[in-house]
Structure formats: C-alpha cells, structure tokens
A and B are shown apart, each in its own frame.
Chain A
Amino acid sequence: MHEKGIAELRRDLDARAYSSVELTLHYLDRIERLDPRLNSFVTVAAEQALAGAERADRAIAAGTGGPLTGIPIAHKDIFCTQGLRTSCGSRMLDNFIAPYDATVVERLAAAGAVVLGKTNMDEFAMGSSNETSFYGPVRNPWDPGKVPGGSSGGSAAAVAGRLCAAATGTDTGGSIRQPAALCGVTGIKPTYGRCSRWGMIAFASSLDQAGPIAGSAADTAPMLQAMAGFDPRDSTSVDTPVPDYLSGLDADLAGLRIGLPKEYFGEGLDARVEASIREAIREYERLGARVNEISLPNSPLSVPVYYVVAPAECSSNLARFDGVRYGHRCENPKDLEDLYKRSRAEGFGAEVQRRIMIGTYVLSAGYYDAYYLKAQKIRHLIADDFRRAFEQVDVILGPTSPTTAFPIGSKMDDPVAMYLNDIYTIATNLAGLPGMSIPVAPVDGMPVGLQLIGNYFQEGRLLNVAHRLQCVSDWHLALPKGF
C-alpha cells in the first residue's frame, strides 16, 4: 500500500479495497520496523491515529469523506497539536503539550487526514541537516551515514522511506525544499501568507511559511489544497481565493517560458548535480517549454542578508521562552535573571544560541542601521531581481541544493559552510515567492532536487510544471533500498 500515491489510496479506500484502519496499521508497522534506522519520528501517536482511522472509515461508509479522509500523514513537530507533545526539536519544549491545534493541523484534520505522529526536525527549524535536534540526527533513507537535509528532515525522510503518505513541513530559508531534494521527494513552499502560521512555532516571522512534502506533485496538491487559505488568526495570512490545484495539474507546457538564472549554475555547484538538472531541462524542452538564461544579479547576497534578517527575528521570537509560563525551567534559580539565563542556556542547543546571539547583536543599539536596515534594503533589491525576471519568464528553474546529501557530522563545526547549503533556496523566502523541489536523476545513488520558483501565488503553476515532468519520468518513484 505504501508505494501508492494519494489518488490511488483514495480510490482504494473509497472502493473498500482496504480500510483506513488497515492502511494506518500498515504505516504504524512500517514506522515500528523501519524508523529505528531513520529517527524520523519524535512522537508516534498510534492510539490517536487508529481512532482517527476509525472515524475516517465511518465517514467513508457514510459517504461524507473529504479528499484526504483516511490518508495517514505526519506533522513536523513545529505545528502545535492539542494533547500531543510539540517539542520543536528542542529540550526547551520537551515537556510542552500545546493547548490548541495549529490552523494547518485543524485544516488537514477537517480534510480527513489521519495523523501518525510528529516528525523530527532541526531545533526550532534552525539547521540544514537535521543534526541540531535535541532528539538526535535523522538519517537519510538512501544512505544512513548521510544527513536528510533540514530543517524538515524528519518529514522528508519519513516520506522518502514511505513511513507516511505525506507530511507537513515549514520553510524559512529552504527547510522544505532542501530536505525534499536530499531525500528524493517532492516539496513545495507556498507564497508567504498562503498557509496560516497560527500555531506554527515562530522562527523568522517575515520568512516562515508552511507547506507539504509528499511522494509526487500530484500528492502535494491535495495536501496544499487542504492547508492553504485565509485565517484571521494570522495577521500575515493573505485573503486571496485558493485555486483548485488538482484540476490544473495536467495543463500543457507548450510555450512555457522557463528561466535559468546563471547565478544558480556557477561556481560551487557540483558538476554531476548540474548534469542531472540539465537532463531534466532537456525533458522540459521536449515537453514544449522554451528555456532561456536569465540573471538574478543580487542573489549571491541572499545568504548574508538572510543571516541578518533570520537571526534578528529569531532573537525576538525566542525571547518568549523564559522558563516562566511553559517549557524548560532550570533548577533552584537564585533570582529572576538567573531563572531566565539558565533556563534558556539549558533549554536551547548551540545553533539556536548562536543565532539568538547574532540576532541580539545586529539589533543592539548602534548596529541596527548597519545590519538589519541594510539587509532589508538589499532584500528589496533581491525581490526586484525576481520581479524583472518574471516579466520575461513564467517559471525559474535551477538546482535546489549545490550538492547531494553530505555525511553526518561533516559540517557541524563550520556554521558558515552549513549555511551555504541554502544558497539557492533562501532568495525565494526573502522575496516571499513560492518554490518547489522535485527529484531528478540521482548521482551515485543519492537524490538530486530540481527547484522551480514561481511568481506570487503561482503554486498551481509550479505543481503543474512539476507534475508534467513526473508524468514522463520515474525519478520520483524510486524507493530507497530496504524500504
């Protein structure tokens, strides 16, 4: 059952080929047998999942099911789930049970999805390798000695190992697309404001966005359909109608204008990764697309700009973790300052503390103009590059990540080397644009991700462009050995 896509599972469930309870038990069994190799789940919610599956089976029998009724999924452990621990990969929230569901969780529940559990992630979504989690690193199903990418590494590895039919993720600088690329699955980061961030633990509020990871574009479409939409509880949620993503999947690509940013094909890109991307580009040309080189001249600045904006916003957002109202609290504080300082030092890991300190520094008196304001100005230049590019092309295409997955431990001592993993993904977050990663031809048995970037609210177009490639190729169907 686990090799099937959501549409096929939907048909089987509706035809009573098997029940949602049977399907859920199948995935729970796979998690129990296979996840010790991956560590992709922080919490498995077997009882709740089976109760959800029973409800789904009743709904299917009564003919009141939705598009995802009975489909087993997992949530990144950054989304608040009522009654089920939400750790955000941190010791700080190791004991945190949210009193409410995130909007995205609520919406997927309303669409009928069954929740198998919560997936591992980099602590507070800060990382590109899933090695900063309090619960230990996630392993890549294609090679257990390698990272799955991050920060949604648990979601990507769980989908790649077919331990769930789909999963939620979040993307602040590439955290859906980069792990999707490194694990050989499909992920989409929607336009800023497309999915509600209510109940999604905040990292960098001007960049964070939720999105799905699944086995194909056709499977991410119903997930995004359920997740997207206006929510008055999130002040950055955009009140724009959500199109029907499924009905647009098959649109013809003849005449589609694809732009290849020359900055994404330069120094630093692994030559074999480039060859895989070029092979997929030829496939797009056969599908009738017109491919042209474009330029995003300010994109090399996106990493430095991001490492001012994201830490600045994180230092402000994470100030709420004070050991007073919820989360970790140190033993025997001698005064209030000691309570704050030790609770935070004990609760946060090294990467989170590094980013809080960078953010505190760039926002401190006398430095604001030189760092944060300067970064926000360059951010405008980066967004303008995209605006000009989308006057000439419909979709921008390039690699998601400069290399395939790297060995666990190889970049942990060098934060700057780690940050450069996100060199091709960060600019879309800075500009607020939607981006997607889909698997193309692997290199030495390790997955390679192709990135598609669309104009604002063009998620449907991205899903269509991704789906048409997946209709004429089988890269997305490969399963890692032993899964």
Chain B
Amino acid sequence: MALLRADIEKIAHLARLAISPEETARYAQDLSRILDLVAQMDAVDTQGVEPMAHPLHDMAQRLRPDAATEADQRERFQSIAPLTEAGLYLVPRVIE
C-alpha cells in the first residue's frame, strides 16, 4: 500500500508532529513499506474470531472505590514543568 505525500501530511497533523517536506517523502516510503508488511494479515480468514484485547483474556478489569487516594502534590509536579505561573501550566494564548 503506497501512501502519498498528502496522506503523510494528514497523518502527521493528526499525530501533532511537525515534519518538513524532505521528511515527508522519506516517511511516505518507510510507512508504505511497513504497511506492505502488515498487509500479510489480509490473507487470514478471521471470520467468527473474537478480537483479543487483553493478553489474559479470562481476566476481568479490577474496579476500585471511586475515592481519591493521592495527596495533592501540585508544587512537586509543577517543578518539572516547562512553564507555570500561580499554580497553572502556561501555554500560548488559545482564545484571542
């Protein structure tokens, strides 16, 4: 399956990755080859087969009471943030 430049640009946008025009050509080639590998799946008859979402398929997801178990550690967590002010994470203006 060959991906075109326009496909790569769309995928990169969805993935929020800034890629240059030169990289676009390279990614088109690489991703197409990976999808060719993946295309081996097409030959398999999977009619009636249940998808396996969890490797231990007889396991059920545990539930826990809906109660807060973590203490507030805002300062500690924000100490590794790129930009904060007054306890808030700062990003470029979203609404003009």
Q: Which chain A residues have a beta carbon within 8 Å of chain B's beta carbons?
A: 95-97, 99, 191-193, 206-207, 232, 235-236, 238-239, 298, 300-301, 303-305, 307-308, 315, 319, 322-327, 329, 333-342, 344-345, 348, 353-354, 356-358, 360-362, 364, 371, 373-381, 383, 415-416, 419, 429-432, 456
Contacts and interface: CB of A to CB of B under 8 A. Distances in A.
Interface string B28-62: 00110111111111101010011111111101011
Contact of B81 (A325, A358, A362): A325
Contact of B55 (A326, A360, A364, A383): A383
Interface string B2-20: 0100011001101111110
Contact of A374 (B27, B46, B73): B46
Contacts of B86: none
A300 B64 CA distance: 39
B5 to A, nearest CB: 13
A329 B81 CA distance: 9
Contacts of B55: 192-193, 206-207, 383, 429-432
Closest 3 pairs between A and B when the two form their complex, measured CB to CB: A432-B55, A376-B51, A341-B18
A303 B41 CA distance: 10
B27 A301 contact: no
Contacts of A303: 37
Contacts of A456: 56
Contact of B46 (A353, A377, A415, A430): A377
Given A193-B59, A329-B82, A358-B31, 12 more contacts: A192-B56, A303-B37, A304-B37, A305-B41, A308-B38, A348-B17, A353-B15, A357-B8, A360-B14, A364-B11, A375-B38, A416-B37
B14 A345 contact: no
A357 B13 CA distance: 10
B77 A99 contact: yes
A16 to B, nearest CB: 40
Contact of A378 (B17, B33, B44, B81): B44
A339 B91 contact: yes
Contacts of A308: 38, 41
A329 B12 CA distance: 18
A354 B18 contact: no
A39 B77 CA distance: 31
Given A341-B16, A357-B11, A381 B41 contact: no
A344 B17 contact: yes
Contact of A354 (B7, B30, B77): B30
A471 B87 CA distance: 59
Given A232-B64, A378-B44, A416 B92 contact: no
Contacts of B41: 301, 304-305, 308, 371, 374-375, 378
Nearest to A205: B54
A345 B56 contact: no
B52 A354 contact: no
18 contacts: A192-B56, A236-B54, A301-B44, A303-B37, A304-B40, A307-B37, A308-B38, A324-B89, A325-B81, A353-B19, A357-B31, A360-B14, A361-B11, A415-B33, A415-B34, A419-B34, A419-B37, A430-B55
B36 to A, nearest CB: 8
A434 B49 CA distance: 24
A254 B36 CA distance: 46
A235 B49 CA distance: 26
B52 to A, nearest CB: 4
A466 to B, nearest CB: 22
B92 A358 contact: no
Contacts of B73: 99
Given A301-B40, A304-B38, A336 B18 contact: no
Given A324-B81, A415-B30, A336 B56 contact: no
A236 B16 CA distance: 29
Contacts of B68: none
Most chain-A CB neighbours within 10 Å: which of B36, B41, B76, B89? B41
B67 interface: no
Contacts of A236: 54
Given A207-B55, A235-B61, A356 B15 contact: yes
Given A99-B80, A378-B46, A373 B34 contact: no
Contacts of B56: 191-193, 238, 432, 456
B92 A334 contact: yes
Contact of A381 (B37, B49, B53, B57): B49
Contacts of A339: 91-92
Contacts of B35: 358, 361
A361 B89 CA distance: 30
A376 B51 CA distance: 5
B30 to A, nearest CB: 6
A200 to B, nearest CB: 16
B41 to A, nearest CB: 5
B6 to A, nearest CB: 13
B19 A377 contact: no
Given A206-B54, A207-B55, A358-B34, A380 B18 contact: no
Contacts of B81: 324-326
